Amino acid sequence: MSRGARFVLFGVSAAGLAALLGWAFAGLPDFGAYAGRYGRIVAQLAEPDRATTNAVTFTAFDVRAIDTLVEEFIVFASAIAAVALLRHQRDEPEHAEDTDTLLRPRTSPALRLVGAALAGPTVVIALDLIAHGHLTPGGGFQGGIVLAATAVVVVAAGGRVRLPPDKPPLLGEMMHGAGAAGFVLLGLGGLIFSGAFLSTTFAGHGTTGALLSGGAIPLLNVATGFEVAGAVIVILGEFLEQEMLAMEES
Amino acid sequence: MTALAYGVAAWLLLIGLVGIVRSRNLIGVVICLSVVQSSTYVLLLAIGYRSGAKAPILADIAGGTPVVDPVVQALTLTDVVVEATVTALLLALAVQAHKRFGTLDPDAMTEMRG
């Protein structure tokens, strides 16, 4: 199909879609006039039932914990799929240099300085986000991404990361495997100790607002944080290696 | 406000689709797809909003204060995570496509080779 014909077809379909969207949105409640029941109930239960003050984390890791488990597996599977896709054609160039030798001539001293200065604080922020996920905005997913960003910052700062072609970036793979397994084990803990898979009450309530409160929810956050950070490190490592192989060839 | 909130969601969906159709670069297609997906974040958060309500962080607000719906916020979180994984996979596919075809222009890839 030619480009012009494609645009015409798209224009007609998009106009139809826009009309349908307008029709559908006209039937939604007005902005700000939310009347749903579930959100209200969940927000009321978060504090008295589980001693969590972040209702979003309470929803994600308690009410919808099984969905979050599946979500974890989506992250897990996509990391493996990215590895399988990118490693498929890794055959010919035998040696990948370490990042420092390849990247140093291409990064500015300012970037390396800022990277080195940010590495420590980034880890602290990530751990803080994960540890306080049940109390304040944050949680395993958000903190995990920030933790993975540390790896990026370290590489940008000229940290030596050697990526031998036949060996996976072991730290990332261990982290994301351990995170996924940890989530399932915590779920089984709920099954054994309080009779329902992923029930979070077996770890006790604690005082509202304390770091150790909210039952197993902080532990699930830690597992998720490791899983997400590991998966992102694995994916970014694969992309980085592709880039390095391309640099070597050129 | 109603028209603005839902209008932004519809606009992001449509303009992202326009970008996908017009794009001459697979990386651009992936970025436009994430624009399309961000329309769902706006829509979810707009549906859960209550006038005058606080964020569903109960630490600093008095009991009984109305808060916005935490369920749609958790759904948005799921949405963001899935979007990130989809983007990673599509970028990996783009890398492979570039290796195989030597270009990132989707129109130049119409000749399928083995």
Query: What pLDDT does B12 receive?
Result: 96
- Quick one: pLDDT at residue A37? 86
Q: Report residue A98 CA to chain centroid gap.
A: 26
Residues B40-97: tens digit of each pLDDT? 999 999 998 988 888 888 887 877 788 899 999 999 999 999 999 999 999 999 988 8
**pLDDT given for residue B112 in this prediction:** 57
Q: Quick one: pLDDT at residue A152? A: 85
CB-CB: which of A10, A18, A34 is closest to B48?
A34
Residue B90 has a pLDDT of 94
The residue whose two tokens read 């996924």 is: A180
Q: What is the number of CB-based contacts under 8 A between chain A and chain B?
A: 156
Give the span between the Cα atoms of B84 and B33, in whole angstroms: 11
A154-197 pLDDT per residue, tens: 887 876 666 555 555 678 888 989 999 999 999 999 999 988 89
Residues with pLDDT less than 50, chain A: 92
- 3-state SS, residue B104: coil
Angle formed at CA A178 by CA A175 and CA A183, multiple of 5 degrees: 125
**What is the average per-residue pLDDT within B31-42?**
95
pLDDT at A96: 55
Pick the residue from chain A with its C-alpha nearest to B23: A3
Position A90 scores a pLDDT of: 53
Structural domains of chain B, ranges and CATH numbers in brackets: 2-52+66-105 (1.10.287.3510)
Q: Is A217 near chain B, with CB under 8 Å?
A: no
What are the residue ranges spanned by the domains of chain A? 52-249
Closest CA relative to residue A31, chosen from B74, B4, B71, B70: B4
B95 alpha-carbon distance from chain centroid: 21
Q: Which of A40, A53, A239 sits opposite B58 (nearest CB)?
A: A53
pLDDT, residue A34, reads: 80
CB atoms within 10 A of CB B11: 14
What per-residue confidence (pLDDT) applies to A148?
92
Using CB atoms, pick whichever of B6, B48, B68 lies closest to residue A25: B6
